[in-house]
Amino acid sequence: MKKSAPVSRREYARFLDKNGNDFIDDSLIRDLIEKNKNPEKKRIRQIIAKALEIKRLEPEETAALLNVKDRDLLLEMQEAALEVKKKVYDNRIVTFAPLYLSNLCINDCLYCAFRKSNAAEKRRILTLKETEEETKALISSGHKRIIVVYGEYPSSGIDYMTDTINTIYSVKVRHGEIRRVNVNAAPMKIRDLKKLKKTGIGTYQVFQETYHHETYAKVHPSGPKSDYRWRLYALHRAQEAGIDDVAIGALFGLYDWRFEVMGLLYHTIDLEKHFGIGPHTISFPRLEPASGSELPEKSKHKVSDGDFMKLISVIRLSVPYTGMIITARETAKIRRNALSSGITQTDASTKIGIGAYSDRYSKQEAERQQFMLGDTRSLDKVIGEFAEMGHIVSFCTAGYRCGRTGECIMNLLKKGEEKWFCKMNAVLTFREWLDDYASPETKKKGEKIIKKEINEIKTKKPEVFKRFSEQYEKIKNGDRDIYF
């Protein structure tokens, strides 16, 4: 098959080192994993202690954590991961829903149902009217944050993206609206990223899929996505375009999971080096069976549940300040366990068919899905479960709307100062949600957690309690979208 020409090097050449290399040195990563094969208990405990001080780990340290096999130490790592999460994010969890707008794609990623050569895939791109319908359905189920997902195709390029995002922000259903639109879309030129920024997006997310150069070339045989570096520096360009909340991720199962964790860390370090700030979130989806996939059902790099839990703890400890996302690809049980290892964000009531939230042809939904989901429970059910586990779901979107983004939010998070803003906003937005959308059962569970949080604000932050209580009363009386 003829390969399409790589996109201009000019967009990323300035980030390469003086020998023209990118920041992923495959043999160095392999050596580090090998060299740290039998880490001593004492050293692991020192590394854990460093993470507990909310300091980002170095590659040698992460490589050592990846090699831990001792069950007690693994448990210590998991406990420390949860401790780190609590220090930075307390007991808050953020929920969102993905909104797939188009499955047209010029790339041929072997693992994805949307790939160009999957002739069985029915192609669809939502009109603005359909986008509005999807948004209404999402708002009605209680969502305030979504992530829009696009294939890569000329007709779903930057103009389509900005039109659909503007449409989403314009929709209102009674009290409700979408207050934060994050974006998962193909790498773009700086010119287009600036247009994206203008729509008022939250986070821009691009997964490298695999950091291993050779595997990357194998699974991305053609199209713009076959250019590893065009993708590797997508978020560097986003930063230059002024989008300072960027999100990285790897698709676990394409290559050795230890290598991918190291890749995510090196990506973090390179973003820190150039922009003084790491990723806003890290994602670690596991490869799921997809119709039309060219990969064998049983990949030799399939990540077991045990290794998956371990990698979550290792990422949490390695980049203590970052948000961590687990999605509905995983089962409810795995998501529950992951919550105890430091996850901060998850989706709920997820549908990944194009037009699936609003349309009535749900029989066809499976055909239009990108891959199979592990957890299709409603937002109400998921929130009820989290409340029972002692987590408060925060619908707060104040941060990016009042300039607490990028480096500013990261510094506040590292110092633990964002905690009180976030706690108060979590309570205000959760109150709103309970009154507008919760079932009686979930409301009962939610009230308990709200009571506990209010008590904490009263005893630990008395200087702001009066102001907080006034805002809380306003929400109870029907005011909406109040935040600190």
Contacts with ligand SAM by CB under 6 A lie at 111-112, 114, 149, 151-152, 184-186, 206-207, 209, 251, 285, 287-288, 290, 329, 370-371
Closer residue to ligand SAM in complex, CB, 285/406:
285
Beta bridge partners of 325: 283, 345
User: Smallest distance, Å, CB 454 to ligand SAM?
Assistant: 39
Closer residue to ligand SAM in complex, CB, 250/457:
250
Closer residue to ligand SAM in complex, CB, 72/297:
297
- DSSP helix/strand/coil, 332: helix
> Tokens 């703890």 appear where?
313
Using a 10 angstrom Cβ sphere, with 0-12 exposed, 13-18 middle and 19 or more buried, the burial of residue 363 is exposed
User: Smallest distance, Å, CB 67 to ligand SF4?
Assistant: 31
Bridge-based pairing state of the strands 323-326 and 345-347? parallel
Q: What is the C-alpha to C-alpha distance for residues 482 and 472, in angstroms, rounded to an integer?
A: 9
Q: What is the C-alpha to C-alpha distance for residues 278 and 275, in angstroms, rounded to an integer?
A: 8
Q: 378-387 burial, b if ≥16 CB within 10 A, otherwise e? A: ebbbbbbbbb
* Residues ≥6 apart with Cβ < 8 Å to 453: 392, 423, 426, 427
User: Smallest distance, Å, CB 253 to ligand SF4?
Assistant: 14
Among 11, 90, 121, 152, binds ligand SF4 (CB under 6 A): 152
Q: What is the C-alpha to C-alpha distance for residues 316 and 83, in angstroms, rounded to an integer?
A: 10
Q: Does 151 bind ligand SF4 (CB under 6 A)?
A: yes
Contact yes or no for 148/101 (Cβ under 8 A): yes
Q: Does 115 bind ligand SF4 (CB under 6 A)?
A: yes
Closer residue to ligand SF4 in complex, CB, 151/342:
151
> Tokens 């991720």 appear where?
249
186's tokens: 């193909």
User: Smallest distance, Å, CB 111 to ligand SF4?
Assistant: 7
- DSSP helix/strand/coil, 294: coil
**Residues binding ligand SF4: what is the number (CB under 6 A)?**
9
Q: Does 270 bind ligand SF4 (CB under 6 A)?
A: no
Render 194-214 in DSSP notation, one character per residue: HHHHHTT-S-EE---B---HH
Closer residue to ligand SF4 in complex, CB, 131/370:
370
Closer residue to ligand SF4 in complex, CB, 215/341:
215
Closer residue to ligand SAM in complex, CB, 325/383:
325
Among 12, 23, 96, 114, binds ligand SF4 (CB under 6 A): 114
Q: Where are the beta strands (DSSP E) in 354-440?
A: 392-394
Q: Does 354 bind ligand SF4 (CB under 6 A)?
A: no
Among 62, 91, 107, 337, binds ligand SF4 (CB under 6 A): 107
Q: Where are the beta strands (DSSP E) in 292-419?
A: 323-326, 345-347, 392-394
User: Smallest distance, Å, CB 367 to ligand SAM?
Assistant: 15
Within residues 419-448, the interface with ligand SF4 by CB under 6 A covers: none
Q: What is the C-alpha to C-alpha distance for residues 304 and 295, in angstroms, rounded to an integer?
A: 17
Within residues 207-236, the interface with ligand SF4 by CB under 6 A covers: 225
Q: Does 288 bind ligand SF4 (CB under 6 A)?
A: no
- The item of ligand SF4, ligand SAM, none sharing an interface with residue 181, based on CB under 5 to 8 Å by kind, is none
Q: Does 109 bind ligand SF4 (CB under 6 A)?
A: yes
- The item of ligand SF4, ligand SAM, none sharing an interface with residue 115, based on CB under 5 to 8 Å by kind, is ligand SF4
Binding site for ligand SF4 (CB under 6 A): 105, 107, 109, 112, 114-115, 151-152, 225
